[in-house]
Amino acid sequence: VKSEGPKLVPFFKATCVYFVLWLPTSSPSWFSALIKCLPIFCLWVFLLAHGINFLVSHRSASRILAGLIFSAMGDAFLIWQEQGYFIHGLLMFAITHILYSSAFGMKPLDLKAGLLMGLVSSSCYAFLYSYLSGPFTYLVAVYIALIGFMGWRAVAGMQLCNDLWTWTKLSACIGAMLFMVSDLTVALNKFCFPVPYSRFIIMATYYAAQMLIALSAVETRNEEDFRKRS
């Protein structure tokens, strides 16, 4: 908390600005896009504050930064989703999940966690299927598969059972779960039925997810510092 907390202050302030202003979605503008993306920009700064050399030498951190960049583009597209840019935003976030999955890695494999996430993802798509039509029938299927895979890799890395977990791995796991909640709320609200307080639920879980995933990138640096002190 002492080492990383101060670097996250701009993110918390930007998030507060978003919720205080609460700009209407009915009149999209570049200003509303900026306010929505500002917390993600602050997470860019959070990772960059650890040093360019750190990002270059640690692929997981650089991939999470790249994922945050695509997330910001997705946020901007979704500001104009009623003008036909929803699919563009969907594509940006699909790339984000691929980058996050790559950052979390494939070790340990943990097939049980993969099976569980597969069942959850399949159940979500089965529920949404009857509400989907046209290209969304397969686009949503691909997207759910990607975010489910990302969730699997985050859960697999936690390793609670054998005491190999760290707070940053736990952060990645919780972040991935919150991201799934946010996106499921988006899907329910857009394709199925109005979700009460949907915008608040979507954005609160989304910002929390992105912050936790960004925090997971600092693990390798913490391990290096610990070895130096030892």
Q: What is the DSSP letter of 106?
A: S
The pLDDT tens digits for 186-214 are 999 999 999 999 999 999 999 999 999 99
Q: Are 172 and 216 in contact (CB under 8 A)?
A: yes
Which one is predicted more confidently, 157 or 88?
88
Mean pLDDT, to the nearest integer, of 32-61?
95
Which residues fall within 8 angstroms of residue 158, CB to CB, at 6 or more apart? 165, 169, 170, 172, 173
Residues contacting 33, CB < 8 A, separation 6+: 75, 76, 79
pTM, entire model: 0.93
How high does pLDDT run on average in the chain? 93
Q: Is the pLDDT of residue 225 over 60?
A: no
pLDDT of res. 159: 76
pLDDT for residue 219 = 67
Q: In this structure, what token pair is assigned to residue 206?
A: 């989304």
Q: What percent of the chain has pLDDT over 70?
A: 93
Position 224 confidence tier, pLDDT thresholds 50, 70, 90 = very low
Per-residue pLDDT, averaged over 35-63, amounts to 95
Q: Which pLDDT belongs to residue 86?
A: 97
C-alpha 154/C-alpha 131 separation (Å) is 29
pLDDT category at 158 given cuts 50, 70, 90 is: confident
Domain boundaries, the chain: 4-228
Sole residue written with tokens 């946010």: 182
Q: Enumerate the H helices of 83-197 as residue ranges.
A: 86-104, 111-129, 136-156, 167-187
Across 67-75, average pLDDT: 98
Predicted local distance difference test score (pLDDT) of residue 161: 67
Reported as a pLDDT band with limits 50, 70 and 90, residue 171 is very high
d(CA 99, CA 77): 19
